[in-house]
């Protein structure tokens, strides 16, 4: 697959995950769809990473590493902020939750947070590992 197509797919999947992460009520079938969507979200970066490593494209591997590290770091930061400011007003809680949804789009869409965090960590470790 061409890199531009994979980048486009990754951005489109991020937008879908971010938008659908704001859904308050999720039925059984909808939650299954959202979980599958959050798993598919990780397919383009995994393919980009594989192609980048095979071609020796350090720029692509570095981009996947940077996005993975940034997502994990910002997710941790937003989770800490959500815990610290839990007793504040509803507006602060809603704003922090909205930021968490945007930073951690596939995590909020999946419902099972650990799966998304694990897949980000896998991408990060795979982008660091050298043969």
Residue ranges in 1-131 assigned as alpha helix (H): 3-20, 28-40, 43-55, 58-84, 90-103, 105-110, 113-128
Q: Taking a C-beta distance cutoff of 8 angstroms, is the pair 34, 22 a contact?
A: no
Q: Taking a C-beta distance cutoff of 8 angstroms, is the pair 104, 78 a contact?
A: yes
Q: Taking a C-beta distance cutoff of 8 angstroms, is the pair 124, 67 a contact?
A: no
Query: Which structure tokens are listed for 52?
Result: 């980048």
Range scoring the smallest mean pLDDT among 7-21, 33-47, 48-62, 102-116: 102-116
What is the spatial distance between Cα 51 and Cα 46, in angstroms, rounded to a whole number? 9
**Mean pLDDT (whole number) for 116-130:** 91
**Mean pLDDT (whole number) for 90-95:** 86
Identify which of 9, 24, 8, 6 has the alpha carbon closest to the alpha carbon of residue 108: 24
What is the spatial distance between Cα 4 and Cα 47, in angstroms, rounded to a whole number? 12
Q: Please say if the pLDDT value at position 16 is more than 70.
A: yes
Q: Please say if the pLDDT value at position 47 is more than 60.
A: yes
Q: Please say if the pLDDT value at position 131 is more than 70.
A: no
Q: Taking a C-beta distance cutoff of 8 angstroms, is the pair 64, 127 a contact?
A: yes
């Amino acid at each position: 697959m061409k890199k531009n197509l994979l980048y486009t797919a990754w951005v489109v999947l991020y937008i879908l995950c971010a938008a659908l992460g704001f859904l308050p009520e999720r039925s059984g079938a909808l939650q299954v769809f959202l979980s599958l969507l959050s798993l598919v979200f990780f397919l383009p970066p995994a393919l980009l990473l594989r192609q980048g490593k095979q071609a020796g494209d350090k720029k692509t591997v570095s981009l996947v590493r940077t996005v993975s590290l940034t997502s994990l770091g910002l997710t941790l930061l937003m989770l800490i902020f959500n815990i610290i400011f839990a007793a504040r007003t509803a507006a602060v809680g809603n704003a922090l939750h909205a930021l968490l949804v945007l930073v951690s789009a596939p995590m909020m869409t999946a419902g099972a947070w650990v799966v998304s965090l694990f897949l980000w960590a896998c991408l990060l470790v795979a982008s660091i590992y050298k043969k």
